[in-house]
Amino acid sequence: MLENRAGEIDPNTESKIKNAARRVFHQKGFSATRTRDIAEEAGINLALLNYYFRSKKKLFEIIMFETMFGFMQNMLVVFNDEKTSLLEKTELMAEKYTEMILKEPQVPLFILSELRDNASDFLEKLPMANIIMESVFIKQIKDEIAAGNIKEINPLQFIINLLGLVIFPFVASPLIYKIGSLSTKDFELLMQERKKMIPIWIKSMFYKS
């Protein structure tokens, strides 16, 4: 049986194209991706891409939306859990997000670089602003500040630091590989260490000692 580059076992043509498109778009971004790249990666005739998805842009929008949605979902679930404490949430975020990104390390840079152009207003289509700033997570930060357990700070700084500590090394990975002369395994171990350390770092940063 013929396999495409991902070694998929006979998904239907539409799925093959979508999966190939996801891989290529994630790797190279919209502008650097040629529809012929996707067709080759999927092992299908070029015309089938348009047959199933109308256009490169439409296909991209599907991939972009699914990618962003998957990326946000994890965060929102953790942020809105009524049962976990603020520190537990930072632990869950560091844990889950690191694991998720390790499986597809190119996704954060893909999302951020595509958002730069912002042409298609993807952020408008996802209800981001309200949902995050009105989350249990933000409420808990404010409560801890009010209770005197956390230093006075804009909750947005808390979020930026948490996301930054988790996401930044992946976005800057070529730089970090180079600076540290790292192998793939080295890098992964470094991220595993961060998974444990980030909650501790966050605690040190924001909590009164």
Q: Which residues bind DNA (CB under 7 A)?
A: 13, 33-36, 44-48, 50-51, 54-57
What DSSP character marks residue 150? B
* Pair 173, 187: CB distance under 8 Å: yes
- Which member of 28, 56, 96, 139 binds its own copies (CB under 8 A)? 28
Phi and psi at 187, nearest 5°, equal: -60, -45
Beta carbon nearer to its own copies, 6 or 190: 190
Return d(Cα 22, Cα 107) in angstroms, integer. 10
Q: Which does 149 bind (CB under 5 to 8 A by kind): DNA, its own copies, none?
A: none
* Pair 41, 23: CB distance under 8 Å: yes
Helix segments in the chain, DSSP class H: 13-32, 35-42, 46-53, 56-79, 86-103, 107-117, 122-125, 129-133, 136-146, 155-171, 173-180, 184-206
Give the pair of three-digit tokens for residue 112: 């951020």
What DSSP character marks residue 7? -
- The label of the residue with tokens 């990104």 reads 101
Q: Where does this chain touch its own copies (CB under 8 A) — which range of 16-24, 54-62, 81-89, 121-129?
A: 121-129
Return d(Cα 49, Cα 163) in angstroms, integer. 36
Nearest distance in Å: CB 61, its own copies: 16
Q: Is residue 20 close enough to count as binding its own copies by CB under 8 A?
A: no
Q: Is residue 44 close enough to count as binding its own copies by CB under 8 A?
A: no
- The DSSP bridge partners found for residue 38 are none
Beta carbon nearer to DNA, 44 or 166: 44
Nearest distance in Å: CB 155, its own copies: 9
Q: Is residue 47 close enough to count as binding its own copies by CB under 8 A?
A: no
Q: Which does 55 bind (CB under 5 to 8 A by kind): its own copies, DNA, none?
A: DNA
- Which member of 175, 188, 192, 196 binds its own copies (CB under 8 A)? 175
- Which member of 102, 109, 136, 145 binds its own copies (CB under 8 A)? 109
- Which member of 76, 102, 136, 176 binds its own copies (CB under 8 A)? 176
Helix (H, G, I), strand (E, B), or coil: what is residue 207?
strand
* Contact set with its own copies (CB under 8 A): 27-32, 106, 109, 112-113, 115-118, 123, 128-129, 132-133, 153-154, 156-157, 159-161, 163-165, 167-169, 171-172, 174-176, 178-181, 190, 193-194, 197, 201, 204-205, 209
